[in-house]
């Protein structure tokens, strides 16, 4: 997915979901956690409801958690995929609306319907997202009040996008926004996106919410993308599938796959590029669009890992030489989710013994005498090998410590039993992660999804 | 595996590996971590080499890690299983002798041979165990000196057993010892055991070191058992398989399966019970022996979880109503190894949302609308249900907080889709676990296997 030295055909621009033509957004505080007014205003007024609206009907594509326990908003989105154009996304933080039974489904549908009514949009044209604590019913009076306020606040400045980006955060420490611009023929096209996610992060999303064999078991993460490209729904879904496979489905913070993971993209066509041209797989236009979308998704996905709960390191685990992609992926995830490997990263300890231990219990076929393990600066091919063909190298402890003493580094594994590879972007495991997730009953912000 | 209200046919007695007749042991310091003499004597002199010797040739049974990366001492033991009587076990802490290539195999064999020579035992009659940092060669001069000293120190008092128990510890905070006595006919028979293990704990052991379908993917843990029972090797292995399946293979501290996990039992026959009688499966004698062995293994296994690295809680995860044992087991392990579930336990937070999330991404089939989740005191049938058939119950937050506010509790899950169950004994995830495993290069004790 990385841009391998080729000049990219897109430029990064300021802003996010309101950067493409014809999109407006808002983020408002409606007290979804029902903090009441007794709480300090700094906390009490963090926005918790986001609204993103397209001025024109948009084609839509989406990917959703493959967790067998799937939140009501995800079910509503799944039911609305492929049923025609969409014009709005309404999303809240502070409550996942998951494991909330029939009331939860009613509430998620009501969020969508109330949004459609408030904005005078056709039935079925609003989608829903939620993130926060599982098992609590939404405070619908607050949600309705929030939607009314958000509809009034809608605007297309970068500030409006920033407020929407703020409103979907839970345990995140910062907003996650991104936009790019590129040319299709003589038209300028933009893609913008916001996302959230800091814990319960190891997405394994599919377009159907069902788990294809190819998608391994693995946050709440939410990502809402907008584009003014003119493209049919089917190629849009194809492009999103590919972009997510190389980005959000390749990250892990804590190995826990959420009930609410959702990625949505709306394409409203206002850029007036050639729709037939862009909708043709492998056309030059499609490849340019795909490259730009890949970049937006990968950048947003990496922001999630860098802002992972308590995270102090960003490690790219690169496994090569596996018998199949599935085995390379399983091996990389075993390493990236091992509590012992993750704590050693936090400590800056080049404990490759824990790495080979995790490889050994992974479902991937490995042969101890063939395994290489090494470290490099991010993206560098200058690898310091600690293990070659199962034998410790002469690399000194000091050199190995130096190699992992950075906030970001790459961990290289070559299994040397095949030709397949996979990589995973992972956070370390820190005291702060534990402290945060112990859950303080007196601090609703700490009760993540 | 639990004794269900029936009067047990065995009594717990003081001591451990030297409680059965004809066993002697020792634990000595031979500086396997090569701390030198500059270190404080308190640290510098913690015993690191254990020797257990039977005065008479003993039948032997063993189970070993199913990690594809398997330490040299495990390979030596595997090669010696079924090859005749055994009389000694030599084991060291501080160095796992794993990923040490041909030199590692040479060293493990030399440990065994040198022990045989020091004790004037036949070739092939000594077994080996190691635990500690992976990837470093053993300091064989120190090991040989330790074996010579241990051979001199051998004795049959409880203190001698305690020193052996001490010598195999790594990150453990306390010794783990256990012994029982029971009658077979007119003979008194004893089983004793020592074990270690605090991190890299989720054993999945088999008698062959190969992974049978029935054993899921999942420390270094070492357990050495002695008995004066007269029993053939095959029924001894059958009994050990059963005991380990219900004990060591049902625990998790951090979900990491080690390269060195080993359980060994030596039976020297000096109790002079009827060997044919005990060696007959399902005979009364065999059932008594099995019950006693189960109890010793379960007690020792639970000691490992209670002394898990940084652990502050001991939670028994009980899954019932699954479609198969494999699914019940997978569901229980998903919950017991979820970073979010484990941190909520540490915080005393009844966050059942994280539990159902983990069930949902486990490979077990679950239907949200059928899931029950509840809490009880250890072993109690009085369960406080937080979720019934996928719906939050009216149990108050206060009541749920109270239920998980103990150092030990049971977590009950009923999937209600089948008739199979499984349980896992699990530790929580704490700041202390992270701090400990960050690995302090200045503290070799922190560099666990």
pLDDT digits (tens, 9 = 90+) for B226-246: 999 999 999 999 999 999 999
Structure letter (DSSP) for residue B186: T
Give the whole-angstrom CA distance, residue A191 versus residue B314.
49
Higher-confidence residue: A244 or B439? A244
Q: How close, in Å, is residue B432 to chain A by CA atoms?
A: 8
Q: Considering the entire predicted model, what is its pTM? A: 0.88
Q: How confident is the model at residue A397 (pLDDT cuts 50, 70, 90)?
A: confident
The pLDDT value recorded for residue B30 is 95
Torsion of CA A292, A294, A295, A300, to 10 degrees: 130
Give the whole-angstrom CA distance, residue B85 versus residue B126.
9
Mean pLDDT of B125-154: 95
Q: Which residues of A383-395 are buried (b: 16+ CB within 10 A; e: fewer)?
A: bbbbbbebbbbeb
The pLDDT value recorded for residue B201 is 73
CATH architecture of B10-306: 4-Layer Sandwich (3.60)
Q: Among residues of chain B, what percentage have pLDDT more than 90?
A: 76
In this structure, the strands spanning B384-388 and B391-392 are antiparallel
pLDDT, one tens digit per residue, over B337-392 is: 999 999 999 999 899 999 999 999 999 999 999 999 999 999 999 999 999 999 99
Residues in B touching A401 (Cβ below 8 Å) = 441
pLDDT beyond 60 at A189? yes
Residues in B touching A136 (Cβ below 8 Å) = 392
Q: Which residues of A249-274 are buried (b: 16+ CB within 10 A; e: fewer)?
A: bbbbbbbbbbbbbbbbbbbbbbbbbe
The pLDDT value recorded for residue B38 is 38
The pLDDT value recorded for residue B137 is 93
Q: Does the beta-carbon distance from B69 to A356 stay under 8 Å? A: yes
Q: Tell me the average pLDDT of chain B.
A: 90
pLDDT, one tens digit per residue, over A128-138 is: 999 988 888 99
Q: Which of A349, A360, A439 sits opposite B351 (nearest CB)?
A: A439
Residue B40: phi and psi, rounded to 5, are -60, 150
Q: Does the beta-carbon distance from A339 to B135 stay under 8 Å? A: no
Q: Tell me if residue B242 falls in helix, strand or coil.
A: helix
Residues in A touching B438 (Cβ below 8 Å) = 343-344, 346-349
- CB-based contact A179:A12 (threshold 8 Å): yes
Burial class (CB in 10 A: 0-12, 13-18, 19+), B38: exposed
Number of Cβ within 10 Å of residue B314's Cβ equals 21
Q: Tell me if residue B327 falls in helix, strand or coil.
A: helix
Q: Among residues of chain A, what percentage have pLDDT more than 70?
A: 91
Mean pLDDT of B196-217: 65
A220 is catalytic: yes
Q: Tell me if residue B138 falls in helix, strand or coil.
A: coil
Q: How confident is the model at residue A436 (pLDDT cuts 50, 70, 90)?
A: confident
pLDDT beyond 70 at B432? yes
Give the whole-angstrom CA distance, residue B434 versus residue B446.
11
Q: Find the catalytic residue in A18, A115, A220, A238.
A: A220
pLDDT, one tens digit per residue, over A329-386 is: 999 999 999 999 999 999 998 999 999 999 999 999 999 999 999 999 999 999 999 9
pLDDT, one tens digit per residue, over B400-424 is: 999 998 999 999 999 999 999 999 9
Residues in B touching A438 (Cβ below 8 Å) = 343-344, 346-349
Residue appearing with tokens 């996979």: A422
Give the whole-angstrom CA distance, residue A159 versus residue B8.
72
The pLDDT value recorded for residue A449 is 41
- What token pair was written down for A204? 């394994």
**Best of B215, B253, B353, B447 to disrupt the A interface by mutation (most A CBs within 10 Å)?**
B353
The pLDDT value recorded for residue B44 is 55
- What token pair was written down for A31? 């007290």
Q: How confident is the model at residue B108 (pLDDT cuts 50, 70, 90)?
A: very high
Mean pLDDT of A401-425: 95
Q: Does the beta-carbon distance from A362 to B217 stay under 8 Å? A: yes
Q: How close, in Å, is residue B375 to chain A by CA atoms?
A: 16
Residue A209: phi and psi, rounded to 5, are 75, -5
pLDDT, one tens digit per residue, over A209-236 is: 665 543 433 347 899 999 999 999 999 9
Structure letter (DSSP) for residue B444: G
The pLDDT value recorded for residue B447 is 41
Q: Which of A66, A430, A438 sits opposite B347 (nearest CB)?
A: A438
Q: Which of B218, B220, B163 is nearest to B197 (CA)?
A: B220
- CB-based contact B226:B17 (threshold 8 Å): yes
pLDDT, one tens digit per residue, over A262-275 is: 999 999 999 999 99
Domain spans, chain B: 10-306, 314-429
CATH of domain B314-429: 3.10.20.340
Q: Does the beta-carbon distance from A431 to B429 stay under 8 Å? A: no
In this structure, the strands spanning A262-267 and A222-227 are parallel
Q: Does the beta-carbon distance from B217 to A363 stay under 8 Å? A: yes
ipTM: 0.85
Q: Does the beta-carbon distance from A134 to B356 stay under 8 Å? A: yes
Residues in B touching A349 (Cβ below 8 Å) = 438-439, 441, 447
The pLDDT value recorded for residue A440 is 56
The helix-helix angle for A339-347 and A352-361 (nearest 10°) equals 160
Give the whole-angstrom CA distance, residue B424 versus residue B233.
29
Q: Which of A99, A392, A440 sits opposite B353 (nearest CB)?
A: A99
Q: How close, in Å, is residue A219 to chain B by CA atoms?
A: 10
Q: Does the beta-carbon distance from A256 to B339 stay under 8 Å? A: yes
The pLDDT value recorded for residue B242 is 95
pLDDT, one tens digit per residue, over B269-278 is: 999 999 999 9
The pLDDT value recorded for residue B220 is 78
């Amino acid at each position: 997915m990385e841009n391998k030295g080729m000049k990219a055909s897109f430029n990064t621009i300021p802003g996010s979901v309101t950067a493409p033509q014809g999109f407006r957004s808002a983020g408002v505080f409606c007290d979804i956690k029902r903090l009441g007014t007794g709480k300090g205003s700094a906390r009490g007024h963090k926005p918790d409801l986001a609204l993103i609206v397209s001025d024109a009907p948009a084609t839509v594509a989406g990917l959703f958690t493959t967790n067998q326990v799937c939140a009501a908003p995800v079910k509503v989105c799944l039911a609305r995929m492929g049923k025609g154009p969409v014009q709005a996304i309404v999303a809240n933080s502070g409550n996942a609306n998951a494991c909330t039974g029939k009331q939860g489904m009613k509430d998620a549908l009501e969020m969508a319907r109330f949004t459609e009514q408030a904005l005078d949009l056709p039935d079925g044209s609003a989608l829903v997202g939620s993130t926060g604590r599982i098992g609590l019913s939404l405070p619908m009076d607050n949600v309705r009040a929030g939607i009314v306020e958000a509809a009034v606040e809608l605007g297309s400045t970068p500030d409006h996008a920033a407020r929407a980006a703020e409103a979907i955060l839970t345990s995140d420490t910062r907003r996650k926004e991104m936009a790019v611009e590129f040319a299709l023929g003589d038209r300028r096209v933009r893609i913008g996106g916001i996302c959230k996610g800091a814990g319960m992060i190891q997405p394994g999303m599919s377009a159907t919410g069902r788990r294809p064999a190819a998608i391994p078991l693995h946050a709440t993460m939410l990502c809402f993308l907008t584009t003014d490209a003119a493209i049919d729904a089917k190629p849009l879904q194809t492009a999103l599938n590919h972009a997510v496979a190389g980005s959000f489905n390749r990250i892990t913070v804590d190995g826990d796959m959420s009930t609410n993971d959702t990625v949505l993209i709306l394409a409203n066509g206002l850029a007036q590029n050639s729709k037939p041209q862009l909708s043709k797989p492998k056309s030059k236009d499609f490849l340019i669009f795909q490259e730009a979308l890949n970049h937006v998704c990968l950048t947003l996905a990496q922001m999630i890992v860098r802002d992972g709960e308590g995270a102090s390191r960003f490690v790219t685990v690169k496994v090569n030489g596996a018998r199949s992609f599935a085995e390379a992926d399983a091996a990389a995830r075993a390493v990236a989710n091992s509590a012992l490997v993750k704590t050693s990263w936090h400590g800056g300890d080049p404990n490759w013994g824990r790495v080979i231990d995790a490889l050994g219990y992974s479902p991937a076929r490995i042969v101890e005498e063939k395994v290489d393990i090494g470290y490099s600066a991010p993206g560098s091919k200058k690898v310091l090998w600690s293990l070659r063909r199962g034998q410790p190298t002469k690399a000194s402890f000091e050199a190995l410590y130096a190699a992992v003493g950075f906030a970001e580094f790459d961990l290289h594994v070559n299994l040397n039993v095949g030709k397949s590879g996979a990589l995973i972007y992972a956070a370390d495991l820190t005291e702060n992660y534990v402290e945060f997730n112990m859950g303080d009953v007196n601090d609703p912000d700490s009760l993540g999804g």
